[in-house]
Amino acid sequence: MKKTDEARLEALVRRILPDIRPSKEELDQVKSAINEIMGRLSAKLPKSVEAVLLGSVARGTQVKGSSDIDIFLLFPRHMKDTEIERKGLEIGKSIVKRSKNESYIVKYAEHPYTKIFIKDLSVSFDIVPAYKIENARERGTAVDRTQLHNEFVTSSLTEKQRDDVRALKVFLKSHRIYGAEARTEGFSGYLCELLTCHYGSFANVIDAMANAKLPLVINIRRPKTDSIPDPGFQLKIFGKRFIVVDPTDSNRNVAANVSEESFFRLVLSARALISNPSPKTFFGSGVSDTNSSRKLSALQKSLGYKMYSVAFDVPDIAVDIIWQQLRKLRLRISDLMAKEGFRVAVSLQEVAGRRAMMCFFIENDIQRYRKVPGPRIDMADSVGKFMEAHRGSMMSIEDGRIFAMEQSKYGSPEELIRGFLKGKRAEIPGNLRGAAVYRGALPESLAKMAYIAFMEKFSI
């Protein structure tokens, strides 16, 4: 990278630092909340179980105002996982003081854990049960690695690099690619730490990503004694084109959840930041969802597309699950539309609270007939069969091939969606209930979801 570009990015990070690094008051408040919770835990924990602070707060890479504190309860490896699950929840719940305006919910990852809200201190704690391990080979559950990550990150990052991690997280968040969850398919906090560690600084990560090409395999600081990994082999075993090997577990690709769309979004955002290293480029622009219904109709008019939507009620379970089920269903409907001759220009989905929705922008929404291509005329048998199958249809010959005009099974995308949802083979996941189909205009609450999803997709 040109020295001047690097200096301008470094200057930008220094300038925005007060907006992204927690203030001394915030850190003091978090510290006293941690002391309070650790004190309560130590009174409840059996001798064999250890409570440790992990995650970004422990590593000093948390962003200003992010109030999630991760405390892990480390159980001995010989205990059964059902036992640590039960004990972990029991201990988590037992330290909540309702009289002090505190509450909790049980959250479900691979293992359930307790999330405690301490309203008076405006922080929340995740109390996560895990096994105490020394290396990845001893791992029992996915969250066990977190203690190894902590060790690696705290011993690898300098103070300045911790601020660089914060800058990277906020930059990614501003461009809607921070977080490994299914909705975002972006870069996790740990991945930001590893990239900063590998390239050395925020400016260098931006420079590397602005020039990045796929496939990209990153092996972080392998000890010299280790054999040099073969990127070709890694590409094969991980089955992805962007790989960041976990320095604490060579069997894990920390970038496994990063979609290629998110990867390339970062490439473009990094190039934009280098050419204009201003707070405006760094923080990006938000989307306002007021008057979404009106804005959506204007969009349809100017694009010349018609919008068809389906909304569902969803239960209060992990958004990741709903998101994936919704995506699968959306892609199936999209495929069916294409098969039936409706051209889907854009398809989107969104989940908000207990509502989920998908919408399709269709280029040609009125269709009576579709043109079905048949075999080449020289394939006598096949042509015969084709003509037999389309008896009564109008037929033509074009470019040496036979074509038939077949009456559409569905007169409109709405008919197709309704037909599909009613069909026996729809197999709509049980979490997507009470399907409601809309043509064009949507009630404002659904319009907001569709508009945000549209603007996010086209916010390059």
Q: How far is the CB of 187 from ligand CTP (least distance, A)?
A: 10
Residues that bind ligand CTP (CB under 6 A): 55-56, 62-63, 66, 68, 70, 145-146, 149, 169, 180, 188-190
121 vs 437 by CB, closer to ligand CTP: 121
12 vs 258 by CB, closer to ligand CTP: 258
Q: In a 10 Å sphere around its CB, with 0-12 CB exposed, 13-18 middle and 19+ buried, how is residue 80 labelled?
A: exposed
Q: How far is the CB of 62 from ligand CTP (least distance, A)?
A: 5
Q: How far is the CB of 368 from ligand CTP (least distance, A)?
A: 49
Alpha-carbon span 367 to 327, nearest angstrom: 26
Q: With beta carbons less than 8 A apart as the criterion, state whether 64 and 26 touch.
A: yes
In the complex, residue closest to ligand CTP by CB: 189
246 vs 365 by CB, closer to ligand CTP: 246
Q: How far is the CB of 146 from ligand CTP (least distance, A)?
A: 4
Alpha-carbon span 149 to 144, nearest angstrom: 9
- Sort strands 123-131 and 68-75 into parallel, antiparallel or unpaired: parallel
Q: How far is the CB of 67 from ligand CTP (least distance, A)?
A: 9
Alpha-carbon span 457 to 439, nearest angstrom: 21
142 vs 237 by CB, closer to ligand CTP: 142
40 vs 115 by CB, closer to ligand CTP: 115
Q: How far is the CB of 125 from ligand CTP (least distance, A)?
A: 11
123 vs 310 by CB, closer to ligand CTP: 123
- Sort strands 68-75 and 50-54 into parallel, antiparallel or unpaired: antiparallel
247 vs 277 by CB, closer to ligand CTP: 247
Q: How far is the CB of 182 from ligand CTP (least distance, A)?
A: 11
Q: With beta carbons less than 8 A apart as the criterion, state whether 224 and 207 touch.
A: no
